[in-house]
Amino acid sequence: MNATPVFDFAAARIERTGAAAHIVRSAQVSRTPQSDHTAGAVHNAGAVRPAGRAPLRLTRRGRFVLVGVPLMLAAIVVLVLAGFFTAPAQASVGSGSVGVHAATVTVLAGQTLWSIASTADSNRDPRDVVADLVELNNLSNSVLQPGQQLFVPLPG
């Protein structure tokens, strides 16, 4: 016996899952006498596909956030790395301490920065030599202790 499948539209129902409603149709096969080449096949000519989500639409702000922010972060990282690898290594930024020839002097009882500065270089202003002594030795105040070792800039 030859049979053609027929879709039963009466069995269609709507299922609600989440926010989307889907039309579900059960494909029931009923056999009717037709040609041999369609025997046993399911006929879904009127079936509706489940409703999907709408395609994603980006606004101008969304495109900026999606593309612009990562590009800006990548540019910042590149600039920081470029600055890190191209910056010269410096132990001190001060201009007075670079290339200064100095001798080590032991502070005696009663000596001050002014007396050490005036004996270290008599050709320069003692205020400039005191400033060099403070910078060269990283002194926080002018109090010296007997026996303290100081670097004193040499003349010339």
Q: What percent of the chain has pLDDT over 90?
A: 19
Please indicate whether residue 91 or residue 113 has the higher confidence score (pLDDT): 113
Q: What residues does each domain of the chain span?
A: 1-50, 102-153
The pLDDT value given to residue 2 = 56
> In the predicted model, what is the mean pLDDT of residues 52-79?
90
Distance in angstroms (rounded) separating the CA atoms of residues 81 and 84: 5
This prediction has a pTM of 0.37
With the C-alpha atoms ordered 37, 41, 47, 50, is the resulting torsion angle positive or negative?
negative
Q: What confidence tier does 33 reach under pLDDT thresholds 50, 70, 90?
A: low
Q: Which amino acid is at 63?
A: R
- Cα within 13 Å of Cα(78), Cβ side: 6
Owner of token pair 């539209």: 9
The CATH number of 102-153, from 3.40.50.300, 3.10.350.10, 2.40.30.160, 1.10.760.10, is 3.10.350.10
Q: What confidence tier does 97 reach under pLDDT thresholds 50, 70, 90?
A: very low
